[in-house]
Amino acid sequence: MRFIARYAKELEKSFEIVTVYENEIQKEKISKENPSIKTLAKKHPCAIWFERKMHDDFGIVIEDAFDARPLVHQERFPKNIHPLRKNFQEKKINEAPYVQYKYEAIKGDGVFQVAVGPIHAGIIEPGHFQFSQAGEEMLHLEVRHFYKNRGIEKMLEGKTLKEAKPIIERISGNESIAYQICWRDIALQASSQELSLSLQKRDAFLLELERIIHHLTDLGFIPNDAGFGTALAYASKLCEDARRKMQEFTGHRFGFGAINFENSYINIIETKEWLKNLHKSISYFKEWIIDIPSLWDRFDTTGKLHIKKAIKYDSVGVVARASGLSIDRRLTPFYLKHDFVMSNEISGDVSARFKLRLAEVFNSLTMMKNFLEEDSSKMKLQAPKDGEYMSFCESSIGELFMAIDIKDSKIERFFVRDPSFVNWQALHLMMYDDIIADFPLINKSCDLSYAGSDL
Amino acid sequence: MIKFLNRRLKLGILTQNIEFDAEIKKIEKEIKDKVTKKFAGSLAIRMVDSGSCNACETECNALSNPYYNLERLGIYFVASPRHADVMLISGIMTFNMTPHVKEAYEQIPAPKWIITLGDCPAMESVFEKTYAIQAPISDHLKVTHHIQGCPPSPQTIIQGLLDFLRKI
C-alpha cells in the first residue's frame, strides 16, 4: 500500500493524526497532554520527515523514532515553540542561541564531510546537502531543507478559500497551475458542484503547458550540467516561447490566477500551428541529442534508483516513472480519452529521467491538441460547506496532494504535500555508485522543488 | 554537427529578432556605457534566494536564454559573493534564511549594493506576515534599488538594472 502523507491537526480536546495511503485514510485521536504516536518510518522510510515536521509544528512526540532531530526548526529557532498550535499567534519570533544540528555522517579513516549550501553557486533555491566522502566517491548524503519555510500552513488558517487562492498559487512557482487545480477541486467539492467538460479541458490544457515548460527547462539544464551548454541554449529558447504562450493564454508568464472557472477565447488554428511547430523543434532536439555519445556516457548508469527502492520510499512522479513504476494521477478516463499515454523507463538513471521527460513532452503536446476547444463559458462558485476535503493533481514533478478543512467558511487546517517532499528523501539512494561531481547532474535530473516542500 | 550548424544558420540570432528588441535597443547602449564607466566593463551579480516561490529565479535564468542574453551587455551572474559587485535578493526573507543572507552579504567586497527582486522582499506580495517571515529586507540590510513584479519579467529586470545603474 503506497504511503502518501501523514499530518496532524488540532481539534478542541485532542490532536488528530491523519495518515493517507493510496486506497485508505486512517485517523487517530491522541490526547493533548503528552501527545505521542508510533512511527511509520520502519515500514515507510519517507514517513520520517512527516513525523519530524509534526513534532516541530505541534510538539507531538514520536515514541520510537530513530531520528528525533528537528526538521523545519533550524539552529536558531527558539525551543518549545510549536507554531501550528492554535494558541500560537505571534507574528515575530526572536533568534535563540545557536544549537548545532547533528548531521548524519559516516566516520572512518580518510572519510571526510563536504557541506554544500544553503546558498548554491547558481541561480537556484537554497537547501543544504551534507556528503560523506571517501575520496571522490559518495558514501552518504543527507538532504537538509526547510530554509525557505514561510509558514504557509499558518498563514492560510482563518482565510476563506477565495482569499487563500493567490497564496496557494504562489507556493511553488513552477507548479502553480497544479496547485490551483488542487484548490479548484477542493472548492468544487466544498460547494458540491461539477465542472463543465470544456472548463476541465481548458484547465488540463494549461496544466500540460506548464508541464512542457518545466520539462523543457530540465531538458536544457540536464545536458548543461554535463557540460553540453548548446542544449540549454536551444531548450531555453523553446521554453521561453512556451512561457510567452502561457502569458498569451492566461495573462501571466507563470499562469498565476489562471484557474478561475472562466474560459477565455483561444485561437485554435494558431495554437495548433504553434503546437505543430513546437513538436517539430523538439523532434529535432531529440534526434540531435540522442546522437551525442559523450553526453550519454555521463547520463547512463548515473544516479540510479532501483525500482525496489523507489517502491520502498514511496516515490512519485518523474522519479518513480523513470524507475519503472506506473504512478500518475492522470490515469483517469478523462485523460485517457484525450490520448494520455503513461510514459515509463526502467533503468532509473539520469538518462531514464531525461528520456522520460522527452516522451512526456510529446504526449503533452498531443493531449493539448485534443483539449483545444472554442468556448467562453463561465461558472459561478457557490458558498463552500464546512467539512474536510482532499484532492490530488499530477504536477510537472509528480503527485501533488492537498487537504483543506473548512470550519465556519474559513480554513481551519491547510496541508499540502508537494511531490518533492517524498522524492527528496529518495535522493540519497541515487548516490552510492557515483562520484561527487555527478551530484549536480543527478539533482537536476530529478528537478525537485525546494519551495514546495519547505512551505 | 553539420545538421546543427545548418539549423543554427537558419535560425539566426534570436536576440536581434524580437519585438521587444526595439525597446531594448534604446536602453542597450546606455546600459553598456554605464557598465563600462562604473564597473570597468563587467557588472557581477550574485543572486540569492531568501525564500521565494522560484518564479523570480526562473526569470533570472531566462535572462541567459538566447532572446535576452544579458551577458552581451557585460552583466554576469557569478557563483560566489566574493566575485560580486551587486547582490540581487529575491524572496520573503524567511527566519531560517536570514543569517545566511546576511553572511553572504558580508562576503561581498566593498563597494557593494543590494537590489531586491520581486514583490516578496519588499513585503508587497500576497504573502502575509507570519512567525517565519522577516521581510521587508530593508529592515535588515541597506537596499539601493527595488525591482517590482510578481515575478518581474526578464524585460522588467533589464529595465530595473538600468534604473539601478542610473541611480549610482
**Exposure of A37 in the CB half-sphere (CA atoms within 13 A):** 27
> A378-388 b/e with 16+ CB inside 10 Å = b?
eeeeeebeeeb
The backbone torsions φ and ψ at residue A212, rounded to the nearest 5 degrees and listed phi first, read -60, -45
The 8-class DSSP code of residue A436 comes to: G
Using an 8 Å CB-CB cutoff, list chain A residues near B151. 173, 253-254
Query: Would residue B28 count as lying in a domain?
Result: no
Query: Would residue B121 count as lying in a domain?
Result: yes
Residue in B58, B65, B133 closest to A237 by CB? B65
Q: What is the pLDDT of residues B17-33, one digit of tens each?
A: 555 666 677 777 778 77
Query: Would residue B106 count as lying in a domain?
Result: yes
Query: Three-class SS of residue B9?
Result: helix
Query: Would residue B95 count as lying in a domain?
Result: yes
Alpha helix segments (H runs only) across A172-267: 176-190, 197-225, 229-250
Q: What is the pLDDT of residues B119-154, one digit of tens each?
A: 999 988 889 889 999 888 888 889 999 999 989 998
How far apart CA B98 and CA A327 sit, in angstroms, is 38
**Contact map slice: B 100-159 vs A, CB within 8 A:** 100, 104, 125-133, 150-151, 153
Contact across the interface for A149 and B95, Cβ inside 8 Å: yes
What number is the average pLDDT over the span A28-33?
Answer: 88
Query: Would residue B39 count as lying in a domain?
Result: no
Q: What is the pLDDT of residues A126-156, one digit of tens each?
A: 999 999 998 888 889 999 999 999 999 999 9
Query: What pTM, to 2 d.p., does this model score?
Result: 0.92
Q: Look up the CATH number of the domain holding residue B64.
A: 3.40.50.12280
Query: Would residue B125 count as lying in a domain?
Result: yes
Q: Which domains does chain A have, with CATH numbers?
A: 3-144 (no CATH), 158-454 (1.10.645.10)
Predicted complex ipTM: 0.87
Using an 8 Å CB-CB cutoff, list chain B residues near A233. 65-66
Give the β-pairing of A14-21 and A3-10: antiparallel
Domain that holds residue B120: 44-167
Query: Would residue B110 count as lying in a domain?
Result: yes
Query: Would residue B13 count as lying in a domain?
Result: no
Kindly tell me if the per-residue pLDDT of B16 is higher than 70: no
The C-alpha of B15 sits at a distance from chain A's nearest C-alpha, in angstroms, of 11
The tally of domains found in chain B comes to 1
Distance of CA A261 to the CA centre of its chain: 24
Kindly tell me if the per-residue pLDDT of A321 is higher than 90: yes
Kindly tell me if the per-residue pLDDT of A234 is higher than 80: yes
Using an 8 Å CB-CB cutoff, list chain B residues near A95. 99
Using alpha carbons, select from A295, A297, A299, A320 the residue that is nearest to residue A429: A320
Using alpha carbons, select from A110, A111, A108, A109 the residue that is nearest to residue A130: A111
